[in-house]
Amino acid sequence: MIHLALFLPLVAGVVLMLAPGLGRALALVASGATFVLSLALLVRYPGEGLAYNFQTPLLEPAGVYYAVGLDGASLFLWLAVSLVVLLAVWLCRVPGRFLALALMMETGLLGIFAATDLVLFYVFFEATLIPSLVMLGLFGGKERMKALYTFALFTLAGSLPMLASVLAVRYLGGSPSFLLSDLLAHPLEGSAVGLVFLGFALAFTVKTPLFPLHAWLPSFHAENHSSGLADAMGTLYKVGVFAFFRWAMPLLPQGFAELQGLLLLLAAFTALYGAWVAFAAKDWKRLLAYGGVSHMGLAALGLFSGTQEGMVGALFLLAASMVYTSGLFLFAGMVGERTGGLELNRVGGLAKSAPALSVLGLFLVMAMVGLPGLSGFPGEFLALLGAYKASPWLTLLGFSAVIAAAAYALTAYQSVFHQHETRAARDLEAREQVFAASMVASMLLLGLYPRLFTELLEPAAKQLVLLLGGGS
């Protein structure tokens, strides 16, 4: 079942690329089936440990395997990805080849979470970049090539050191293969640990993203297609927190210990910096881009605390932000379609003519600012709780970012929906109502019943804390 769920989007994407006339119907069938299969994997999951484990040699002399499996953490993120892709495909009216690229990217994202061989993880990690770049290059705005080159340059700057670290962690550690279990059983030790960890950290910091390696993100979102589909897929590609959690920290705990203080500082500064810059944003996409940077800074702050609470909070916030930030980008696309642009001062008072649209926006914004009862709160609370145990002062910076998020997000929402009305806009159509109901339901489920999902995350977090020597 795991293989079908993993590769079904890729197969459908290839077919749709060759026959774009099949369009949204095929994309809906493929993404819907993938989500149903993901739910089935969740229902059948035993509760802890690695399930659906499968491995077979790809390059046996080199120790490379096709090895996949899901534990609670990767399964939770897998489910979030499959949900967002389904809702995005359902909502967006875009060309068939655009949908094909999104489906191909979905397989790459699912593979990142499922891979239990380091080389296979690297392949998925890098291959997912290709459809993201093509979506930007083919369907982006006027300055898309500049944004594309910037994104590719930052990614390349992280990918090459990461490849060196992939090789070093096995051969310097003496592991017989690149399987995660073998690498954990043959840990790398000695003076090279710090450099090898740094190679991973560069790549994963780009994909978190953390300051100063976040600079590709604003132009990436600003130049992507106005529908929000490519932005939603880009949001799902912020997998750095998971990559640190699954690979860099457990394989190189000594290297993490050497850089923990710096990583905590970068995470806290990123959270505050992203929130501060979001205040100056003049359009929805830049506001959401910097808001996403800020929230990933909070997630990283919890993760780098080395505490169980912080790690659970980081992964929960990562999954929750995949849902509500993707939802906000798609919502911005809906607003832009109605008003002819994404500038925040372009229109006002839309709540009068489009009350249902305004309610959807309010739910999404409130989830983003961490309102209790919605999906953003449990992850932020646990991340900050764990971070406090590592550094109360840096936690104060992170908490300041939470307060700032309420200010910039609610100000933007008010200016568009509740200031003096400048034009009318149509309200939600039937297709958009389904999207809105699904998005609100998922945010309420995550916010009101977080225990359903934190129970999935706790065993993996506890295991990593033990590998790190009991936390900070």
Q: How many CB atoms lie under 10 A from the CB of residue 470?
A: 9
What's the pLDDT at 6? 95
User: In the chain, how many domains are there?
Assistant: 1
* Token pair recorded at residue 351: 């709540």
CA distance 338 to 185: 56
Asked, for residue 142, whether it belongs to a domain, the answer is no
Q: How many CB atoms lie under 10 A from the CB of residue 163?
A: 15
Q: How many CA atoms, within 13 angstroms, populate the side-chain half-sphere of residue 446?
A: 34
Q: Is the distance from CB of 462 to CB of 75 less than 8 angstroms?
A: no
Q: Taking CA 104 as the corner, what is the angle to CA 100 and CA 108, rounded to the nearest 5 degrees?
A: 165
CA distance 310 to 264: 12
Q: Is the distance from CB of 309 to CB of 450 less than 8 angstroms?
A: no
Asked, for residue 341, whether it belongs to a domain, the answer is yes
Asked, for residue 151, whether it belongs to a domain, the answer is no
Asked, for residue 204, whether it belongs to a domain, the answer is no
Q: Is the distance from CB of 320 to CB of 372 less than 8 angstroms?
A: no
CA distance 244 to 329: 26
What's the pLDDT at 255? 93
What's the pLDDT at 420? 67
Q: Is the distance from CB of 1 to CB of 91 less than 8 angstroms?
A: no
Asked, for residue 220, whether it belongs to a domain, the answer is no
Compute CA distances 43 → 39, 115, 156, 178, whole Å: 6, 20, 38, 30
What's the pLDDT at 471? 46
Low-confidence ranges of the chain (pLDDT < 50): 471-472
Q: How many CB atoms lie under 10 A from the CB of residue 254?
A: 16
Asked, for residue 338, whether it belongs to a domain, the answer is yes
**Residue span of the structural domain in which 384 resides:** 253-472
Under 8 Å CB-to-CB from 84, ≥6 apart: which residues? 232, 235, 236, 322, 323, 326, 327
Asked, for residue 132, whether it belongs to a domain, the answer is no
Asked, for residue 157, whether it belongs to a domain, the answer is no
What's the pLDDT at 348? 72
Please state the pTM of the whole predicted model. 0.94
